[in-house]
Amino acid sequence: MSCLQKNRVEFIAQGDAKYNELSTPYNTRIRTRPRIIITPNRVSDIQYAVVCAQREGFKVQPRAGGHSYAGYSTGDANTLIIDLRYISNVEYDPRSRKAFAFGGARLGNLGLKLGADGKAISHGDCPGVGLAGHSLHGGFGYTSRMWGLSTDHILSMKVVTATGDLVSASPKLNSDLFYAMKGAGDSFGIAVEFELKTRTVPDKVLRFIFDLARYSRDAKRMADVFVNVQACVQSRSFGDNYGLTIRLATDAFRVAGYFYGKEADFQRTMLPCLSKAAPVTITIEEQSFSRSLSSIAGDAPLRRFIDAPGAKSNFYAKSVMIPEQRPLNKAQMQDYFRTVLEAGARVPNQFVITFRLMGGTGSHVKKDYGDTSIPWRDTLWIAQHDGQTQRNPRDVARAITAMNDQLEGSIQRNVATYFMFPPFIDPDLTREESHKMYLGDEHSRRLQRIKTKWDPTNVFSNPQSVQLERRR
């Protein structure tokens, strides 16, 4: 890359010492070999790199944490990857109560920095995930029902565009780019800095686990539990201060989560929902907010070191979102759990299913936080099907697909329009299918017009990225 050399931008190519480490995707089932990788420590290097990619005919993809399920943040043979790990500082301004985070910031480091001042934003589970990729595709976590999505905390951002220019985007400045970045950011530019509103952390957090493993092979009882919890979260007494999941694996079934309030309120609102289920054990633990972030991450440390090797996994995943207005009934869930038991029996101990509560009474995900290219706010549950594929990968893929298809079929019989969750991106979808399932038809058409304006040569591209508007 003579253009990069001329502008004194260091790069890594195949054969270089760090290439294999930096080119291996988070999901090792995916094979990627990007043409060039840069790890800049100056925004100007990013600008030069984008211009050089244009001249050389390469596509560009940013990488913050590198956790794309499909490996899109690692690219292919015609892609220049811009790894933002060295542009990752986080600062908090106590006067304005705003945070300022650079594009490579990791969620764990962000949580630690803001937590020192008793502040936070809504975000997901894993400390090593990058703020940029996470928030620019929504960003959902246990506090989202209380505070909104991660993307809803973005007040403005600085973006390197396809021309190599550094521009500001906000609801009042380049508002069309701001809208596009908040939902489909990897198709439009590289977000190098965020201005974020923050929240005051709650005084206490209750972690709760209802162990229902005794029902893990009983489709009828699991369906009973599911619909009882579902009715509870849609009842008037339920509040926005719950983050809740229902999780199923081989010989495991549980309802668990975090309550951001007083134990008396938890006992009043949650325990009656599961009184008929007779859980084997009930665990309730009081935690600080900071401790809850680590607990959510499986007790992993929040601090992420810049050059520490990232965790890898070999997996196959699919998701589907259950709309709020037409939740699934007991018969539909019983049929689904039968399918799970049948398909799961062929791949024991190689799958995990998680239903994440997004909606329900009081959920702030449904609030109007301004113009974003996110169509799936009116969702009750995110259903995530994960399969470990280190061994018998085809069998695992078939089992995961059967489980997801059964649930999706029931949703299709209830509603005409539903979505899939873009952070759990599925590389099996075609570009057209991904646009329909992640962005929706209306947003897709609008995004194509904006793409034509801001990236007319389609430099920011991957197999499911937004394409240019078709000329009539």
Kindly report the three-state secondary structure assignment for every residue of the chain.
CHHHHHCCCCCEECCCCCHHHHHCCCECCCCCCCCEEECCCCHHHHHHHHHHHHHHCCEEEEECCCCCCCCCCCCCCCEEEEECCCCCCEEEECCCCEEEEECCCEHHHHHHHHHCCCEECCCCCCCCCEHHHHHCCCCCCCCHHHHCCHHHHEEEEEEECCCCCEEEECCCCCHHHHHHHHHHHHHCCEEEEEEEECEECCCCEEEEEEECHHHCCCHHHHHHHHHHHHHHHCCCCCCCCEEEEEEEECCEEEEEEEECCCHHHHHHHCHHHHCCCCCCEEEEEEECHHHHHHHHCCCCCCCCCCCCCCCCECEEEEEEEEECCCCCCHHHHHHHHHHHHHHHCCCCCCEEEEEEECCCCCCHHHCCCCCCCCCCCCEEEEEEEEEECCCCHHHHHHHHHHHHHHHHHHHHHHCCCCCCCHHHCCCCCCHHHHHHHHHCHHHHHHHHHHHHHHCCCCCECCCCCCCCCCCC
Find where tokens 């190098």 sit.
192
In a domain, 404, yes or no: no
Which of these, 297, 425, 312, lies nearest to 22 by C-alpha position?
A: 312
Q: Are residues 193 and 108 in the same domain?
A: yes
In a domain, 105, yes or no: yes
pLDDT given at position 369: 78
User: CA 150, 400, 374: angle at the middle one, nearest 5?
Assistant: 25
In a domain, 311, yes or no: no
Q: How far is CA 10 from CA 63, 86, 166, 191, 348, in A?
A: 16, 13, 20, 20, 47
- How confident is the model over 301-321, as pLDDT tens digits? 999 988 877 789 999 999 999
Mark which of 83, 100, 128 sits at the end of a domain: 83
Mark which of 18, 53, 83 sits at the end of a domain: 83
pLDDT (average), residues 127-140: 96
| Position 37 pLDDT exceeds 90 | yes
Cβ–Cβ under 8 Å, residues 14 and 33: yes
pLDDT given at position 1: 72
In a domain, 11, yes or no: yes
Q: Are residues 124 and 162 in the same domain?
A: yes
- Longest CA span, the chain: 70
Rounded Cα gap, residues 405 and 385, in angstroms: 11
Q: How far is CA 317 from CA 70, 295, 351, 389, in A?
A: 10, 23, 9, 10
Mark which of 83, 116, 144 sits at the end of a domain: 83
In a domain, 78, yes or no: yes
Region for 179 from its dihedrals, namely left if φ exceeds 0, alpha if ψ lies in -120 to 50, beta otherwise: alpha
Rounded Cα gap, residues 101 and 131, in angstroms: 8
Q: Are residues 95 and 194 in the same domain?
A: yes
pLDDT given at position 472: 60
pLDDT given at position 326: 95
pLDDT (average), residues 318-341: 97
Domain around 153: 90-201
Q: Are residues 96 and 187 in the same domain?
A: yes
First and final C-alpha spacing in the chain? 37
Q: Are residues 164 and 74 in the same domain?
A: no
The dihedral of CA 259, 263, 267, 268: what is its sign? negative
In a domain, 379, yes or no: no
In the chain, the percentage of residues whose pLDDT exceeds 70 is 99
pLDDT given at position 340: 98
Amino acid at site 130 = G
Q: Are residues 73 and 98 in the same domain?
A: no
In a domain, 469, yes or no: no
For the entire predicted model, the pTM comes to 0.97
Cβ–Cβ under 8 Å, residues 92 and 196: no
Find where tokens 């997801």 sit.
404
- How confident is the model over 408-427, as pLDDT tens digits? 999 999 999 999 999 999 99
Q: Are residues 185 and 116 in the same domain?
A: yes
CATH classification of the domain holding 101: 3.30.465.10
In a domain, 273, yes or no: no
Rounded Cα gap, residues 143 and 243, in angstroms: 6
Cβ-based neighbour number of residue 311 at 10 Å = 10
Query: How many domains does one find in the chain?
Result: 2
Q: Are residues 19 and 78 in the same domain?
A: yes
User: Which pLDDT band, with edges at 50, 70 and 90, does 217 fall under?
Assistant: very high
Q: Are residues 173 and 141 in the same domain?
A: yes
User: 451 or 469: which carries more pLDDT confidence?
Assistant: 451
CATH classification of the domain holding 23: 3.30.43.10
pLDDT (average), residues 393-416: 97
| CB-neighbour burial class of residue 54 (10 A; exposed 0-12, middle 13-18, buried 19+) | middle
Per the document, the length of the chain is 472
- Phi, psi angles (nearest 5°) of residue 441: -65, -45
pLDDT given at position 270: 87
Beta bridge partners of 396: none
Q: Are residues 68 and 97 in the same domain?
A: no
Q: Are residues 76 and 148 in the same domain?
A: no
Cβ–Cβ under 8 Å, residues 70 and 426: yes
Q: Are residues 19 and 71 in the same domain?
A: yes
Cβ-based neighbours of 219, under 8 Å, separated by 6 or more: 334, 337, 338, 340, 341
pLDDT given at position 253: 97
For the chain, the average pLDDT equals 95
pLDDT given at position 280: 75
